[in-house]
Amino acid sequence: MKQNIAIIGGGASSLLASIILAKRNFTVEVFEKNPKAGKKLQATGNGKCNITNKNLSLEHFFSNNPSFIKYPITTFGFREFNKFCDEIGLNLVTNENGKTYPASLQASSVVEILYENALFYGVKFNFDSFITDLKFDERIDKFELKTQNGIKKFNKVIIATGSKAMAKLGSSDSGYTLAKQFLHTIIEPLPALVQLTSNNLDIHQLSGVKTEATVTLYINNKATKTVFGDLLFTNYGVSGNTILDLSREVNIALESRFGVDILVDIFPSLDKNKLISLLENKIKNLKDRKIEFLFLSLINTKLIEFIKKKSKISPHKQTLGELDKKDILNIVYALKSIKINIEGSKGFEFGEVVCGGICVDEVETKTMESKKQKGLYFCGEVLDVDGACGGYNLHWAWASAFVLATNMK
């Protein structure tokens, strides 16, 4: 007799696991609280779906137990994912940075292909279905899953509910509640890949300015991490890929009530001496022009007054020829050392994922099975694993679902 399996949640990891399990002749039933599958997946990458990344080194994944990540990622890497996509008819394209998308550049096509494949192999979907209780009945060696429509019994249960990030896209923390019923430990979830807030009003006035920058994170005045990429100034603080990649460490530090600042270099391509030479040469050729002329074509015009103010140039100086060596050094410092205090983040509502979740010490890395309850499995974002920007979080969903589904007995 075929084993029947319930998957709670209808997102990325659930869809992949359901296809593989159904192909392996398991009876699979998915329970999803939303009216359709893959709601959050459909919004990924601003609707383009950054589905994975060609550069899947382990440094891009995070957990309180990093060793847990190695087996799934090395077992189901970029090549294996490509093979799976070929088998289900999903065409991919990869850009020069390794980011990989569906060839259609539409997340909706990813959801549709996964969903149609699941249906083809016989997966049953229960939409608008809320799990109200989950128990294991030792007398019959089965799980009892209760929804608003009644109780169903299953040999095995997979919790693939995602996290509490972006609830507006259908995410929830219900998986944590269900895991707790089986005595699993929950590492306190915090928002990750999220915009950061600052009470610096001068920064708020730069809202809309986007630039490439090197951003260094300082925790209690100690430099801890430096990233390079896009930075966007906003009316609440800062955003952009650099900020999203730092937000994990920021929120952990803020949770511990540490002081957090970032130092922004908006001229990362030029070191201090080269930037001094560039400015001195421009001043030499244009000494009769107004000071503002120095910055034209170098920086966004919205930044000019901010940099002038930060450089503490005397208001009595009007032309470039009046600037002295100290003024030039101050300008260079201002361009390469914009300090911004960070007081918080935009929270779970805007965070793309969370750091934290079900403690992976209590889960088997090769099968994703609970060490506390036989027949109970987890995959995807519900676990204490998250990744950097660039398709890494979705790849964790695929990889964890793959090892679960291929190794289930």
Q: Which structural domain range is residue 28 located in?
A: 4-190+356-407
Q: Do 271 and 389 fall into the same domain?
A: no
**Percent of the chain at pLDDT exceeding 70:** 100
Residue 171 has pLDDT above 80, yes or no: no
* Residue 266 burial (CB count, 10 A): 21
The band of 71, judged by pLDDT with boundaries at 50, 70 and 90, is very high
pLDDT band at 58 (very low <50, low <70, confident <90, very high): very high
Task: Tell me, yes or no, whether 27 lies in a domain.
Answer: yes
- Whether residue 131 is found in the same domain as residue 245: no
CATH, residue 135: 3.50.50.60
Tell me the DSSP string of 328-372: HHHHHHHHH-EEEE--EE--TTT-SEEEEEE-GGGB-TTT-BBSS
pLDDT of residue 47: 84
177 and 247 together in one domain: no
Q: Is 351 contained in some domain?
A: no
How many other CB atoms are found less than 10 A from the CB of residue 218?
A: 19
CB 342 within 8 A of CB 250: yes
pLDDT at residue 208, rounded to an integer: 97
Residue 52 pLDDT > 80, yes or no? yes
- Residues 202, 175 within the same domain: no
Residue 178, pLDDT score: 97
Pair 357, 341: CB distance under 8 Å? no
Query: Cα–Cα distance between 364 and 265 in angstroms, integer?
Result: 43
The last residue of a domain, from among 346, 367, 392: 346
Same domain, 89 and 172: yes
pLDDT band with cut points at 50, 70 and 90 for residue 46? confident
Which domain-ending residue is among 346, 367, 398?
346
Q: Is the pLDDT reported for residue 170 higher than 80?
A: no
Answer with the one of 308, 328, 346 that is the final residue of a domain.
346
Same domain membership, residue 371 and residue 335: no
pLDDT band at 163 (very low <50, low <70, confident <90, very high): very high
Claim to verify: residue 252 and residue 215 sit in the same structural domain: yes
**Closest to 374 in 3D by CA, of 402, 340, 408:** 408
Q: What does the mean pLDDT of the chain come to?
A: 96
Which pLDDT score is estimated for 226?
A: 97
Q: Are residues 259 and 330 in the same domain?
A: yes
* 319 lies in some domain: yes
User: For the residues 93-117, what does the mean pLDDT come to?
Assistant: 96
DSSP conformation letters of 126-143 = E-S--EEEEEEETTTTEE
User: Are both 307 and 400 inside the same structural domain?
Assistant: no
Q: Is residue 373 part of a domain?
A: yes
Domain count, the chain: 2
Instruction: Please provide residue 321's backbone torsions phi and psi, each rounded to the nearest 5 degrees.
Output: -65, -20
Identify whether residues 309 and 378 lie together within a single domain: no
Element housing 248 (H / E): helix 241-255
pLDDT number for residue 103: 97
pLDDT of residue 30: 98
DSSP letters spanning 166-217: TGGGT--SHHHHHHHHTT--EEEEEEES--EE---HHHHTTTT-EEEEEEEE
Mean pLDDT, rounded, for 290-302: 93
Q: What is the pLDDT of residues 308-349, one digit of tens each?
A: 999 999 989 999 999 999 999 999 999 999 999 999 999 999
Element (H, E) at 81: helix 78-88
What is the pLDDT at residue 84?
A: 98
Above 80 in pLDDT, residue 167?
Answer: no
Contact 405, 21 (CB under 8 A): yes
Q: Check whether 75 has a pLDDT greater than 80.
A: yes
Q: Is the pLDDT of residue 148 over 80?
A: yes
312 in a domain, yes or no? Answer: yes
pLDDT tier, 64 (very low <50, low <70, confident <90, very high otherwise): very high
Mean pLDDT, residues 401-408: 98
Q: What is the model's pLDDT at position 168?
A: 78
Q: Do both 186 and 201 map to the same domain?
A: no
Q: Give the pLDDT confidence of 200-259 residue by residue, as tens digits.
A: 999 999 999 999 999 999 999 999 999 999 999 999 999 999 999 999 999 999 999 999
- 169 and 226 co-located in one domain: no
* Cα separation, 215 vs 212, whole angstroms: 10
- Banded pLDDT at 45 (limits 50, 70, 90): confident
**302 vs 208, 236, 295, 311, 312, CA distance in Å?**
9, 16, 11, 15, 17
pLDDT score of 232: 98
Place 169 in a pLDDT band, splitting at 50, 70 and 90: confident
- Among the listed residues 216, 322, 328, the one whose alpha carbon sits nearest the alpha carbon of residue 274: 328
From 100, 16, 110, 105, select the one nearest 54 (Cα to Cα): 100
Q: Does residue 160 carry a pLDDT above 90?
A: yes
Sheet holding 52-53, edge to edge: 52-53, 99-102, 92-94
